[in-house]
Amino acid sequence: MEEWSQFKIFWFLVVIDADGFRANVGIILCNDENRLFWGRRVGQNAWQFPQGGIRTDESPREAMYRELEEEVGLLPEHVEVLGETRRWLRYRLPKRFIRRHSHPVCIGQKQRWFLLRVNCSDKKVCLDKFRKPEFDDWQWVDYWKPVDEVIYFKRRVYERALEELGPVLFPSGLPERETVEKAEQNAAR
């Protein structure tokens, strides 16, 4: 038992950097219509892109493929990698989410984001392929919807990832981002 606890401590030391950020990958899946996969977290009314931690023995790309299968049920042959962010994108956790009793303390995540095109039928998506699913529902959404709907402390990272990777999908320019005010005006028409 003592050997296992030492392994866990070593694993966390490698995964959380000296600044307290946990290494992670984020996955933006798109279909042929350039709509994005949007997953609802199990038992919550919280939606997000697939994401997950990078293990000590993995590259960011290897972690992305593992998380893709674990969370969405897709394999490498079901997708085409269209792009990857040039650098880590970071977000800090609000103080109430920081586990001060954990060592090392994780204050946020640093993420490498991947843009993938799904090249198979939607029927291949399997949210419960593994014992503890991350999502219990999903849908294809307009490009900017995730920025408006994700939990507030992840919004800037989502925006930066979509801004950086978007020109791959939209070489003539990113779609206009509909603000809440504009959406309300359009709904009133």
pLDDT in tens, 78-120: 999 999 999 999 999 999 888 887 778 889 999 999 999 999 9
Domain housing 76: 2-188
Q: What is the CATH number of the domain that holds 27?
A: 3.90.79.10
Q: Tell which wins on pLDDT, 103 or 71.
A: 71
Using the predicted structure, report yes or no on whether residue 10 has a pLDDT greater than 50: no
Tally of domains in the chain:
1
Confidence of residue 6 (pLDDT cuts 50, 70, 90): very low
Choose between 2 and 170: higher pLDDT.
170
pLDDT at 175 exceeding the cut of 90 = yes
44 to each of 41, 53, 117, how far by Cα in Å? 6, 21, 27
pLDDT band for position 187 (cuts 50, 70, 90): low
- Report pLDDT digits (tens) over 12-44: 434 888 899 999 999 999 999 999 999 999 999
- Are 73 and 34 contacting, i.e. CB atoms less than 8 angstroms apart? no
User: What integer pLDDT is reported at residue 1 of this predicted model?
Assistant: 37
Look at residue 97 in the predicted model and tell me its pLDDT.
84
C-beta neighbour count of 76 within 10 angstroms:
13
| C-alpha span between 1 and 71 (Å, rounded) | 30
SS (H, E, C) 99-156: CCCCCCCCCEEEEEEEEEEECCCHHHCCCCCCCCCCEEEEEEECCCHHHHHCCHHHHH
Q: What is the number of other CB atoms lying within 10 angstroms of the CB of residue 144?
A: 19
- In the structure, what pLDDT confidence band is assigned to residue 184 with cuts at 50, 70 and 90? low
Instruction: Kindly report which listed range (85-89, 104-108, 152-156, 182-186) carries the lowest average pLDDT score.
Output: 182-186
Query: What is the band of 178 on the pLDDT scale with cuts at 50, 70, 90?
Result: confident
Q: Which residues contact 37 (CB under 8 A, 6 or more apart)?
A: 28, 29, 30, 31, 49, 50, 72, 118, 125, 138, 140
